[in-house]
Structure 1
Amino acid sequence: MANSLEEVHQSVATEHKKTGFRKILAFLGPAYLVSVGYMDPGNWATDIAGGSQFGYSLLWVLLMSNLMALLLQSLSARLGIVTQRDLAQASRETYSKFTNYILYFLAEIAIAACDLAEVLGMAIGINLLFDIPLIEGVLITVLDTFLLLFLINKGIRKMEAFIIVLVAIIGFSFIFEMIFAEPELDKVMYGLIPSMPNSAALYIAIGIIGATVMPHNLYLHSSLVQTRKFDRTPAGIKQALKYNFIDSTIALNLAFFVNAAILILAAATFYKNGMFEVAEIQDAHQFLEPLLGTKWAPILFAVALIAAGQSSTVTGTLAGQIVMEGYLNLRIQPWVRRIITRLIAIVPAVVVILIYGESVTGKLLILSQVILSLQLGFAIIPLIHFVSDKSKMKGFHISKTTQVAAWIIALIIVSLNAKLVYDEITSWLASAEQPLFLWLTVVPLALGLLGLLLYITAKPFIAKAKSNIENHSPHHLKLEYTPKEAYSKKNIAISVDFSKADEVALNNAFELGGIDAQYTLIHIVETVGALMYGGHVDDHETTIDEKLLLEYKEMLSQKGFKIETALGFGKPNTVIPKIINEGTFDVLVMGTHGHTGIKDILFGTTVDKLRHKISIPLLIVK
């Protein structure tokens, strides 16, 4: 099985951190990467709309959403820590291939909706600070693809530091905004009492929930926690769960502060002054200076907006790789994945802005968050099933009380979404000139998704989980070779990836060295986790790959060959040369998969980049 985020899997060591504080610091990080999704530009739009239209009355929705998020993210972290699988991988093991394709498609829609919010937020921030037209700002956001690739190459700790700096910028910006706004504290406290002014408030409330409890973050968190290597004893797992809960609590409460600050700012400035229709971020920025009496308020607002958009786009890309690898067992180049995700977001943004103008960006942002909310059930329900499974969780399943709380959250979210969908479809049918078209398209689609929701809810109750864990990587242990006369090579490195190409590579290597040569089998773990965290990553694919390398070694040793192994982490064209150049090898033997053209672009090619980086002959066989 491929490790989730293999590039950074088990890349941050925690075992040797003795003191409690240093131990906590070693585990801190994943929740901060997750938390930026809870303060992205989509949140800003819903919070501003909620605060300007309904004052402080929807603050309780933010608080409730934060508590929901804390529970759900802790469940997601638990799944990753205990099972060494992310949510997509666990789903792939539980549901049918067809069901997983649909779940993957829905997850991608959620990620695209999230990225749409980041695109618009970044573009608006650039527009507000530098007066660059919104369309051009949207196109400029393509450039952050290169920033992401740069950060991945620098390692996860630097990426985490980058994200934490952005979060700090957002937090400090809103501390000053609160000082400028001087909100009425009694009304703030009153806003924590549940109430729903009208149906319009329900739409905003659902948007707030979708913006706060984000489905792609559940996939992301279950993967990122696997980047911490720890003692996998019951005591070690229990400790990891505790420290990750601390990490989640701190990070998500910071996100709650930011969201609450945005809503309070809107209530204390716009709602207080009778400006109930301020739903656009640009309008909020424009009115801050005259209402608060300082030029720094709009500047800090725009800077924080750019920081929010940039930080969220990084984690959205990682989530996209996780769901693609987990559901489809498909791994493509990170930069290709990033560009595809960004283009999916940019195209609708550009089209809508060109047709309807810049004034609709706020509505587009809120719509993106409602779409996220509609996807939540398809991520939450499987997650609750998985962490409640005694056999899957190896004794670390959640308690009955936690199960009840989780199912109540799922019921609330699904019920709110169902009501919203029903109200919207009913409204469309009532106002449509040709309702038959809606009956033939929208209604069956809604019923189909309802059926899928019922299926993924019922399936784990009525069917046992698979007893054998499905291998997520195309690994094959069948090996056939015909040793031939040995030649002069005495120390031979062989790159293996547990595919059929290994058979050809091994056969050719044995022809070079025969029975007397020393052979080193090199395999590179290249999930997203391994790329970012290197050799400290601790996920399922690393475990599987270590096992497969050992099986190769034992099998070949029994046949009389002298075998050593080397397991690397990251990009093969970077890590293999490092292993080769640090050793004393005579030749490197590699098999190829034979794909060319577009497949080289999608999946990457190792040979062309590698041959210029090593100082020994390279034998390529296919």
Structure 2
Amino acid sequence: MASIARLRGYAGEMGPSWVAGAIAAGPATMASLITGGAAYGYDLLWVVVLSAFAGALAQYLAMRLGLLTESGIVSVVESHLGEWWAWLLVADVVVAAGVAQLVIMNTLASVSATITGTDAWIWGLVWAIVLALGLAGQGYGLLESAAKLIVATVVVAFVVSLFVVPVDPGAAVGGLVPSLPGGGALVAAGILGGAVHISLITMHSYTMRAKGWTDREYGLATFDIGASMLVAFGIYSVAIFLVAASVLSDPDLTTVGAAQALGPLVGENARWLFLLGLGGAAVSTLGGNTIVPPFVLADKLGWGTTVEDPRYRGLLAAVALLSAPGAAIGGQVIGQLVLVLALGTVGTPFAIALVIYLLNSPAVSRPTATATNVGGLALLSVSGALAANFLREQIAAGLGPLSGAVLAFGIVLALAMVVLLAKYAREQFRTEDATVEPAD
């Protein structure tokens, strides 16, 4: 009975991981899920399930660092590694989150225009102003409440869609057996990349600080991750994938195009439910993503990371308003969303490496379990392989100004991880050498 009461108490107090889940359950992830289901049927369902566990593990690592240091990740990096490392992390986050902000605004404006018939650029202005007034005025509290409500609504919308879409249970069960169809590697990478992203990893220490959590809330924070990333995000991903795998068969569908295609296939109810879910996902992701660059910049500059500090509030408003031009990008959204995930994939291994290093450094007083380290290293290996594959594709396709800049940034981050590994090995060697007693 005491355990049940504790879980009920946890359910009423959770929040920070739901903000991360709001970003993860966004249109970029949806684009990968739609492409996977439409192109390969149920074959990649096992990857979808795996992505929920990988996302939860990444959040758990970030949670440990935030709770056990009670500081923002940039401050911890600067204290234990130096200013150069902190600025590199800030640049990594701002580039990945900044590009995502523009593309997600384009998605949200496109969905809003599809539903209402009003021009997308007008919706870009409207949503940017709503973001600026809401986040700069109310701060984290509003974002957390909105994230929990919107994510729950989005999950319900897609689950309800399953009742009007003819899912093949036998084929779905077969999709849980790991296999990789020809050409499916990149799609699988995109699905995993949506759950394990640098924005989700770096923001977690700040949202927990805004919530007021410390080491005493370790159990609550762990429950928070399980409920949001493992359960809510997992259901979201599986539901979208099953809808696409069941009735869509065009691998070139856009996210909005998938919703429109559902109308003649299985009825207008499914189309509107899908549009509602897509719109909600875009809103929740845009709101969560807006706070990420201000968090790391304010922390690096020594400012407060709540709206009580007017400088942080100004950063929030600026990032929100600067997202408005994203509505004018135009073009096929799905290709842009793939680029967002790719950029995030390039930056994510560096963030994971920093977290693992810090969890095994004097920054954290509580030792990290071997199983946790093994899981973190596996996560680092997968994300590193995805990043290397993307950069290899860029080189093979021929480098332009944008792809060249991404490649250069990726090389800088890769070299930084090599230096970090060498630094850790040297420190371990010195520690072992110091513990060896001199011979008689």
TM-score range, shorter chain: 0.7 to 0.9
1:221 aligns to 2:204 (yes or no)? yes
Query: What are the superposed Cα offsets for residues 235-254 of structure 1, whole Å, 9 maximum, x if unpaired?
Result: xx3x6222211111011121
**Displacement, 1:438?**
10
Which range is displaced more, 306-315 or 100-109? 306-315
Instruction: Check whether the contact 1:87–1:218 (CA below 8 A) recurs between aligned residues.
Output: no
- Asked if 2 retains the 8 angstrom alpha-carbon contact of 1:115 and 1:313, the reply is yes
Is residue 153 of structure 2 the alignment partner of residue 178 of structure 1?
no
- The answer as to whether partners of 1:46 and 1:207 remain within 8 angstroms in 2 is yes
Q: Give yes or no for the alignment of 1:66 onto 2:52.
A: yes
Task: Indicate conservation of the 8 Å contact 1:110/1:372, yes or no.
Answer: yes
Structure 1 residue 296 corresponds to structure 2 residue 273: no
Max radius of gyration: which structure?
1
The Cα shift of 1:222 comes to 1.7
CA contact under 8 A between 2:65 and 2:358: conserved in structure 1? yes
| 8 Å CA contact 1:27, 1:228 repeated in 2 | no
Q: SS at the partner of 2:107?
A: helix
Determine whether 1:282 maps to 2:246.
no
User: What is the CA-CA distance between 1:229 and the residue it aligns to?
Assistant: 4.8
Judging by fraction of residues, say which structure has more strand: 1
Structure 1 residues 349 and 453: CA distance shift in structure 2, 3 A: farther
Q: How many Å apart are 1:58 and its aligned residue?
A: 2.2
Counterpart pick for 1:448 among 394, 412, 419: 412
Alignment of 1:429-468 (within 5 A): 445-463=409-427
- 1:577 is matched with which residue? none
The alignment status of 1:121 with 2:107, answered yes or no, reads: yes
Provide closer, same or farther for how the CA distance between residues 325 and 217 of structure 1 changes in structure 2, counting only shifts above 3 A.
Answer: same
1:341 aligns to 2:314 (yes or no): no
The structure-2 alpha-carbon separation of the partners of 1:443 and 1:78, relative to structure 1 and needing over 3 Å to count, comes to: closer
- Deviation string, structure 1 residues 380-415 (Cα, Å, up to 9, x no partner): 1111111223x32212x3211221121011011101
Counterpart residue identity of residue 304, structure 1: G
Structure 2 vs 1, CA of residues 186 and 204 (structure 1 numbering), >3 Å: closer, same or farther? same
SS at match of 1:333: helix
Q: Which residue of 2 aligns with 1:567?
A: none
Matches within 5 A, 1:42-191: 42-149=28-135, 152=138, 156=141, 158-191=142-175
Is the CA contact 1:24–1:243 (under 8 Å) kept in the aligned structure 2? yes
Within a 5 Å distance, the mapping from 1:333-412 to structure 2 comes to 333-342=311-320, 345-347=323-325, 350=328, 352-353=329-330, 358=331, 360-389=332-361, 391-395=362-366, 397-412=367-382
Question: How many angstroms apart in 1 are the aligned matches of 2:89 and 2:340?
Answer: 18
User: Relative CO higher for 1 or 2, CA cutoff 8 Å, sep ≥ 6?
Assistant: 2
Structure 2 residues without counterparts, runs of 5 or longer: 305-309, 429-440
Q: Secondary structure at the match of 1:88?
A: helix
2:393 aligned residue (415, 423, 429):
423
> Cα distance, 1:121 vs. partner?
2.6
More helix by share: 2
Question: CA distance change for structure 1 residues 139 and 365 in 2, over 3 Å: closer, same or farther?
Answer: farther
- Report the Cα offset of residue 209 of structure 1: 2.1
CA distance in 1, matches of 2:405, 2:200: 30
Q: In structure 2, what is the Cα distance between the partners aligned to 1:33 and 1:385? A: 25
Counting only pairs closer than 5 Å after superposition, residues 554-569 of structure 1 correspond to structure 2 as: none
Q: Which runs of 5+ in 1 are unaligned?
A: 1-17, 465-622
Distance 2:365 2:97 in 1: 31
- Pair 1:258 & 2:236 matched: yes
Which TM-score applies when normalising by structure 2?
Answer: 0.87
Match of 1:310 in 2: 283
CA, structure 1 residues 159+442, in 2 after alignment: closer, same or farther (shift >3 Å)? Answer: closer
CA distance in structure 1 between the aligned counterparts of 2:323 and 2:417, rounded to whole angstroms: 26
Instruction: Give 1:212's aligned residue.
Output: 195
Question: Quick check: 1:116–1:349 contact (8 Å CA) kept in 2?
Answer: yes
CA deviation vs aligned residue, 1:315-341 (integer Å, no higher than 9, x gap)? 222222221123343566345323433
**Distance in 2 between the 1:57 and 1:189 partners?**
9
Q: Deviations over 1:265-321 (max 9, x none)?
A: 1111112xxx3322x12211211111112x222222222222222222222222222
CA RMSD of the aligned region, Å?
2.7
Q: Deviations over 1:529-579 (max 9, x none)?
A: xxxxxxxxxxxxxxxxxxxxxxxxxxxxxxxxxxxxxxxxxxxxxxxxxxx
C-alpha distance 444-311 of structure 1, shift in aligned 2 (>3 A): closer
The count of aligned residue pairs is 419
Cα 1:21–1:333 change in 2 (3 A) is same
- For 1:292 and 1:141, locate their aligned partners in 2 and report how far apart those are by CA, in whole Å: 31
